[in-house]
């Protein structure tokens, strides 16, 4: 198969080994239970929104962060909970229109959320939807775990 001259090869998102998909959502539920109580409602709202918007998800927890992915595009979203905020990371976010405001590499972008109101903003749902249409963090091979 011939490669087009203008096709850009994307660098790997990380030198670290990617998370392995779990067999179901339980791994995310267990992770949420270990978070600071003040952040749990925010994280649960984001988790529900991601699952409602994106069918066929794969789940993983690694480095104390939750990962959501699709076999076709790789890991698309990461949730990272800190003391007073949650970072909602989109691995292909630089390609969004408009892209989330924060990020320092050529592919991923994120937004820092502190309140339920911020998480309910229409742009959050739009970014979750856009995450399904761009290449995420796709280690080779990204295997499918059927539940």
Structural domain contains residue 21: no
What was the pLDDT predicted at 146?
56
What is the rounded average pLDDT for all residues in the chain? 88
CATH code (residue 104): 3.90.1150.200
What was the pLDDT predicted at 61?
97
Q: What percent of the chain has pLDDT over 70?
A: 84
Angle between helices 26-33 and 40-53 (to 10 degrees): 160
Please tell me the total count of domains within the chain: 1
The answer to pTM > 0.95 is no
Structural domain contains residue 17: no
**How far apart are alpha carbons 46 and 89 in whole angstroms?**
12
Structural domain contains residue 96: yes
Q: Which two tokens stand for residue 119?
A: 């998480």
Structural domain contains residue 73: yes
**How far apart are alpha carbons 77 and 67 in whole angstroms?**
6
pLDDT digit string, tens, across residues 19-35: 999 999 999 999 999 99
Structural domain contains residue 81: yes
* CA-closest candidate to residue 108, choices 64, 74, 61: 74
Q: Is the pLDDT of residue 6 over 50?
A: no
What was the pLDDT predicted at 17?
85
User: Domain range holding 93?
Assistant: 26-131
Q: Is the pLDDT of residue 3 over 90?
A: no
Q: Is the pLDDT of residue 98 over 80?
A: yes
How open is the CA angle 13-87-48, to the nearest 5 degrees?
105
- With residue 87 as reference, give the H or E element that holds it: strand 86-90
């Amino acid at each position: 198969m011939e490669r087009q001259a203008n096709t850009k090869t994307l660098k790997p998102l990380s030198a670290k080994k990617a998370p392995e998909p779990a067999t179901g959502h339980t791994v995310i539920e267990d992770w949420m239970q270990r978070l600071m109580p003040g952040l749990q409602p925010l994280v649960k709202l984001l988790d529900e929104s991601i699952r409602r918007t994106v069918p066929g998800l794969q789940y993983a927890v690694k480095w104390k962060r939750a990962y959501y992915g699709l076999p076709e595009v790789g890991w698309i979203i990461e949730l990272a909970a800190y003391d007073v905020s949650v970072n909602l990371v989109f691995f292909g976010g630089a390609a969004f229109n408009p892209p989330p405001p924060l990020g320092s590499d050529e592919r991923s972008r994120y937004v820092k959320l502190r309140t339920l109101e911020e998480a309910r903003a229409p742009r959050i749902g739009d970014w979750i939807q856009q995450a399904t249409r761009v290449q995420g963090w796709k280690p080779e091979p990204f295997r499918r775990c059927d539940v």
